[in-house]
A and B are shown apart, each in its own frame.
Chain A
Amino acid sequence: MIVEDGLACDAVFFPTPEQYFDLVAALKSDGFEMCVDVCGVDYLEHAGRALPAGVAPTRFEVVVNLMSLSKKQRVRVRVQAGSEAPRVESLFALYPGAEAPEREAFDMFGILFDQHPDLTRILMPEDWEGHPLRKDYGMGHVPVQFKEAPGPR
């Protein structure tokens, strides 16, 4: 599923999780030498986003931006990773540079990447609970107390 996109990108692909790895492998052999970025998006509060016909939206999406240095082109791959237990194949075997961004997506969204060599948290502390960039994860706040607060010295 390919959609032309004028916004700093030449084409957007919407593979299923099963097609995902093979599609990226095909793109790599097609001259897209560099995996610029891998990131996750949680569409919990924006489920009605515009997707081409035939693509079933899921809560989590993995977005991969690839770049071809020889052709000076960029493409984007958006894979619907699932809603309950998001899980896709890791791109590490194709692009070793996807290792840290995938770890970040795992840390922030809990998206599992199969065949990733070292899928651990990267930004959050090891004993942290939850995945902070999920939309149902609270923002956190500092309680402000006006009445009993100590006055100025």
Chain B
Amino acid sequence: MSDDVRTAARPDRLTTETSEGAQELTRRVATPTDELGREVGAVLRLDGVTLDPRQVDYERRDDETTIINMGPAHPSTHGVLRLMLELDGEFVLRTKVVVGYLHTGMEKTAEALSYVQGATNVTRMDYLSPVINELNYSLAVEKLLGIEIPERATWIRMMMSELNRVSSHLVWMATNGMDLGSTSMMIYGLRDRELILAFFEKTAGLRLNLNYVRPGGVAADLPDGWEDDIEVICNTIEERSYEYDQLLTGQPIFRNRLVGVGAITAEEALALSLTGPLLRSTGVPWDLRRTMPYLAYDQVDFDVIVGTYGDNFDRYAIRLNEIRESIRIIRQCLERMPAGDYRSQDPKVTPPPRARIGESMEALIHHFKLFTEGFHVPAGEVYSAVESPRGEIGCYLVSDGGPKPYRLHVRTPSFVNLQAMPLLMRGASMSDAITMISTVDPVLGEVDR
């Protein structure tokens, strides 16, 4: 064992009040080779390809390059992402991602909340796909509890998560358009998302952070007339997705900014643990909805969209087409929505109906116990994962048999996907950096948690 591992001793003095010390990009002379390799994006160090000395330019002196800071308040970093870039003229040599500006300790908070309350916590992690966060958490809790979910609840969950995927991709289309100077795309994307948020409000009572999917089922049944709403949403967004195709796909400036920029290979993507559109853009047909089906995804018909070159344009095309595939799934949910309960009737996790509370003392006590103490979950560990719009979102849950999670760890796709930044940035120009951030699509709420 080597002794060169740094410990977390508090540094005596940081150079400035806002300095992040060793978390930042340091000057070349002060950076160890391993870290330098990491920052230039050398990933394939095993399997015969070792760190190529030509990639790490040892000879370059510090006074030939500039280290600049981008963020955390830069408008196009999609939140509070901070990138430190070493530039040679206009071209990027090294990149380091500095995160944590939005860290609110949600994993620590989760240990103080009961399983009933937990969904309100996790829904705030990835604020663009709250339903999928809740779903992931609920599936993990249900696996430990070993309870079955009624068929209708499963299909409602599936429909809501697909609606959420559409809305998340629409926001991505909007922000990506904005980053490339297409402000009309931004307005269109946010306009269409509004349709879905209005439906969420009608169903769950809230537009964002729904707390709709809960352990045991969903919070409420679909509202009256939901079929018509879904019909309108599907028709409108599908039709408009072709308009956006016309607006952007062939547009020469748009294509020049994306085609061939930021290309990665499948080996690199696998080595960096990338998932979601980033992995699929390299041609790996990996979508958990298809490869490790959960809910009822094995019963619906949809295509997994894959790219060929792994560049920014592929990632754009994948997201645009995934909107259409999600609409295909929503239409099938609409047709095949089964009747029945929208939540499990297991009294362990589900409170008694409101009408019973007024007439039965036991029901009142039951309701009170469930919302004050919560339900106990058998001791054990579980990892469950679902496909979020950004990749695999996983939940590692440890229970000690009590009413609160002993440890809740969420594997968030944005956090892991950000590791691709040095590789994507290497050799790209400063203006392309904006498109790289955009096509990785990080949501800083889930990066920092």
Chain A residues near B (Cβ < 8 Å): 7-9, 33-37, 39, 41-42, 45-46, 49-50, 63, 65, 69, 72, 74, 76, 78, 87, 93-101, 104, 106-108, 110, 112-129, 131-133, 139
**Which are the 10 A-B pairs with shortest beta-carbon distances?**
A97-B273, A117-B34, A126-B21, A123-B100, A37-B411, A46-B400, A120-B22, A39-B409, A7-B382, A123-B103
The one of B1, B19, B272, B398 that contacts A41, using a Cβ cutoff of 8 Å? B398
Cβ-defined contact, A118 with B34, below 8 A: yes
Q: Could you tell me which residues of chain B, from 174 to 202, have a CB within 8 Å of some CB in chain A? A: none
Q: Across the two chains, which residue of chain A brings its CB closest to B396? A: A39
Q: Is B340 an interface residue (CB 8 A)?
A: no
Q: Does B43 contact A (CB under 8 A)?
A: yes
Q: Let me know if B270 and A33 touch, CB within 8 A.
A: yes
Q: Is residue B151 contacting chain A, with contact meaning CB distance below 8 A?
A: no
Binds A, one of B4-12, B222-230, B305-313, B433-441: B4-12
Query: Given B8, B43, B274, B394, which contacts A110 in the complex, CB threshold below 8 Å?
Result: B8
Contact B8 A37 (CB under 8 A): no
A-B contact pairs, 7 of them (CB 8 A): A7-B383, A36-B411, A37-B411, A65-B383, A72-B291, A101-B415, A121-B100
- Total inter-chain residue pairs, C-beta < 8 Å: 154
The reply on B90 being an interface residue by CB < 8 A is no
CA distance A129 to B11 in the complex (A): 10
C-alpha spacing A57/B270, complex, angstroms: 32
Alpha-carbon distance between A96 and B11 when the two chains are bound, in angstroms = 27
What is the minimal beta-carbon distance from A13 to any residue of chain B, in angstroms? 13
The answer for the CA separation of A112 and B1 in the assembled complex, in Å, is 11
Chain B count of residues within 8 A CB distance of the other chain: 62
Verify if B123 is at the interface (C-beta below 8 Å from A).
Answer: no
A96 pairs with B1, CB closer than 8 A: no
Question: Does the CB pair B38–A99 fall under 8 Å?
Answer: yes
Min CB distance A108 to B, Å, is 8
Alpha-carbon gap, A60 to B156, bound state (A):
39
Minimal Cβ-Cβ distance residue in B for A72: B291
A residues less than 8 Å from B103 (CB atoms): 123-124
Which of B68-76, B105-113, B204-212, B361-369 is the contact stretch? B105-113
**How far is it, in angstroms, between the C-alpha of A122 and the C-alpha of B412 when the chains are bound?**
15
Given contacts A69-B284, A96-B271, A123-B100, 11 further A-B contacts (CB under 8 A): A36-B392, A39-B396, A49-B400, A65-B383, A96-B45, A110-B8, A114-B2, A117-B37, A126-B19, A126-B20, A127-B14
CA distance A127 to B416 in the complex (A): 24
Chain B residues lying within 8 Å of A126, measured Cβ to Cβ, are 11, 14, 19-23
Cα–Cα distance between A35 and B291 once the two chains are bound (Å): 17
Q: Which of B270, B272, B448 touches A69 (beta carbons < 8 Å)?
A: B270
In angstroms, Cα B100 to Cα A124, docked, is: 6
**CB-defined contacts of B270 to chain A, threshold 8 Å:** 33-34, 69
Q: Given A41-B398, A118-B35 in contact, is the A139-B108 Cβ separation under 8 Å?
A: yes
Which residues of the other chain, B, contact A112 by a CB distance below 8 angstroms? 5, 7
Q: Is the CB of B382 within 8 A of A8?
A: yes
Query: Which B residues are in CB contact (< 8 Å) with A72?
Result: 291-292
Does residue B347 face the partner (Cβ distance < 8 Å to A)? no
* Given A39-B396, A99-B38, A99-B419, CB of A69 within 8 Å of CB of B105: no
The complex places the Cα of A112 from the Cα of B416 at a distance, in Å, of 20
A93 to B383, CA, bound (A): 24
- B348: Cβ under 8 A from any A Cβ: no
Contact pick for A132, options B6, B38, B105, CB 8 Å:
B105
B-side contacts of A118, CB under 8 Å: 22, 34-35, 38
- Known A-B contacts A65-B396, A121-B8; the reply to A7 vs B100 at CB < 8 A is no
- The answer to whether A116 touches B5, judged by C-beta atoms less than 8 angstroms apart, is yes
Instruction: Indicate if B296 sits at the interface (CB-CB under 8 A).
Output: no
A95, B14: Cβ atoms under 8 Å? no
B89 near A: Cβ within 8 Å? Answer: no
Q: With A and B bound together, what is the CA distance between A6 and B278 in angstroms?
A: 30
Does A122 lie within 8 Å of B273, measured CB to CB? Answer: no
B30 sits at the interface (CB 8 A): no
Taking a contact as CB atoms under 8 Å apart, the answer to whether B112 and A139 are in contact is yes
A78 to chain B, nearest CB (A): 8
> B291-322 toward A: CB 8 Å interface, digit per residue (1/0)?
11000000000000000000000000000000
Residues on the B chain within 8 Å of A49, using CB = 379, 400
Are A122 and B11 within 8 A (Cβ)? no
For residue B32, CB closer than 8 A to chain A, the reply is yes
Chain A residues with Cβ under 8 A from B400's Cβ? 45-46, 49
Given A34-B270, A69-B284, A95-B271: A114 and B5 within 8 A (CB)? yes
Output the least CB separation between A98 and chain B (Å).
7
Q: Mark B250-274, 1 if CB is under 8 A from A, else 0.
A: 0000000000000000000011111
